[in-house]
Amino acid sequence: MGSFGKYTHAIIRGIPAGMGLKDGEKDGEDSEGGGVDAAKLHRQLGVYTGILRQKLGLQVIELPASEQPGLPLSLCVEDIVVVQGDTALLTRPANPDRRKEVATVKSVLEELKLRVFEVTDERATLDGSDVFFTGREFFVGISKWTNHKGAEYVAEAFKDFTVSIVHIPEPHHLKSFCSMGGPSTIIIGNSEAARKAIKAMEQLTDYQYDKLSVPDDAAANCIYARVGNKCNVLVHRTVDEFPESSKAFKKLPDYTLIPASCTEVAKLGASLSSCSILINKKFEY
């Protein structure tokens, strides 16, 4: 747990050319609706990248935008790999087109000298947004996007940790409504799906976690990081987006709170954490 929340690198992906949805179109689970404003998307991801680089002090690796048309969710690089320590598990997304994203991510992970495993069973599906690591154990959401075969690969790749499964109703990912807000704090949304998920996790775990409940599910997906030896940072959705949930984050003692607008990515059904792969590289090239 001493290294939980500490990161050295972040992998992000460029915005596909011609990015944007027709007015009212939705292209993902948990979409917050409306057409994507491409100019605003560029601005928001620029700020997001700046936070990773300047506020969290990470070395940011930007992958080229997907050249394949019709894949706006390629921005959601978190779906493509699960990283813990020096181990990376390349996933097998439920969307067959998204599996073409794996090769580019794999090459970067190999350059960073991570131990890379892959989901090779054609019966398995696994999205990184369904894999929730608490620092002590893994929870894998069995969902529209991830099945039991996929969860088995998580258990195989990360043998030092307990891996438990939580059934998630369509069309959600597990991390659509939860994240870690510190080494022992789970931030959880307030929908029926979120409440059922946290209850299931509490029944499956041997640990006692603190809970920070927020009124809005989408606001519960945050990025917790430790900068230096003592600074706890939480990147969260802005007060303009979720005013009531933003109030809840102020209950965290001695935290640096950094708001990041995510309205355009959210229209794709994505979240703050889905836009980056966070890595703590403590070993030599």
How high is the pLDDT of residue 230? 84
Which whole number is the average pLDDT over 94-102? 92
How high is the pLDDT of residue 33? 58
Percentage of the chain lying above the pLDDT 70 cut:
91
Report the alpha-carbon distance of residue 183 to residue 2 in Å, rounded. 9
Q: Report the chain's mean pLDDT, rounded to a whole number.
A: 92
Domain 9-14+29-279 - what CATH class? Answer: alpha beta
How high is the pLDDT of residue 32? 64
How high is the pLDDT of residue 285? 40
Domain boundary assignment for the chain:
9-14+29-279
pLDDT band at 229 (very low <50, low <70, confident <90, very high): confident
Give per-residue pLDDT as tens, 76-97: 999 999 999 999 999 999 999 8
3-class SS string, 114-140: CEEEECCCCCCCECHHHEEECCCEEEE
Pick the more confident residue, 137 or 66.
Answer: 137
Give per-residue pLDDT as tens, 8-33: 999 999 988 766 544 333 444 455 65
pLDDT band at 1 (very low <50, low <70, confident <90, very high): low
Burial class (CB in 10 A: 0-12, 13-18, 19+), 184: middle
How high is the pLDDT of residue 2? 75
How high is the pLDDT of residue 16? 81
